[in-house]
Amino acid sequence: MTENLAMEASTETTVTTSSETPKEQPKQLTRKQLGQLRRSYYTVVHGVVRTCSHKAKFSATQPPKNNCVSCWVAFFATAVDLEAVHKVLTEQGVKAFTKTYGDKYVKNFRGFLAMTLKPKDEPKEVTL
């Protein structure tokens, strides 16, 4: 008797699977629709560096490609993990830092440090 129930259950499952309707194919996009979707979802909008009006086409992994000082200052101020740079400099030294990041990066990083660490012009004290 249990064998009959098992056979009935197995036939019921085959009936339900065979009665499903095939899914419809997704409709094809036209070339125009595809272009509109790409522009709305895949377009990268870069910001602008205010001091020089260049597009900020840099990220944490990609430094600026130009030699604009303002772009490099914006890059170091926004996209660079200064703790990691400090760790490489203190633990491995300047040669390893240059080997890791490159000469152009090191040159601009030194300029950035000189600009940010330079003491502000304070009014001189008058002694009488």
What is the per-residue pLDDT across 1-37, written as a single tens digit (0 to 9) for each? Answer: 555 544 454 445 544 455 556 677 778 889 999 888 8
Angle formed at CA 81 by CA 83 and CA 110, multiple of 5 degrees: 80
Q: How far apart are CA 115 and CA 110, in angstroms?
A: 9
Q: How far apart are CA 80 and CA 84, in angstroms?
A: 9
For position 46, what pLDDT does the model report?
84
Report the b/e string of 83-100 with b at 16+ CB within 10 A.
eebeebeeeeeeeebeee
For position 120, what pLDDT does the model report?
67
Q: What is the pTM of this model?
A: 0.60
**Length of the chain (residues):** 128
- Encoded tokens for 95: 């040669």
Name residues of the chain where pLDDT drops below 50.
5-7, 9-11, 14-16
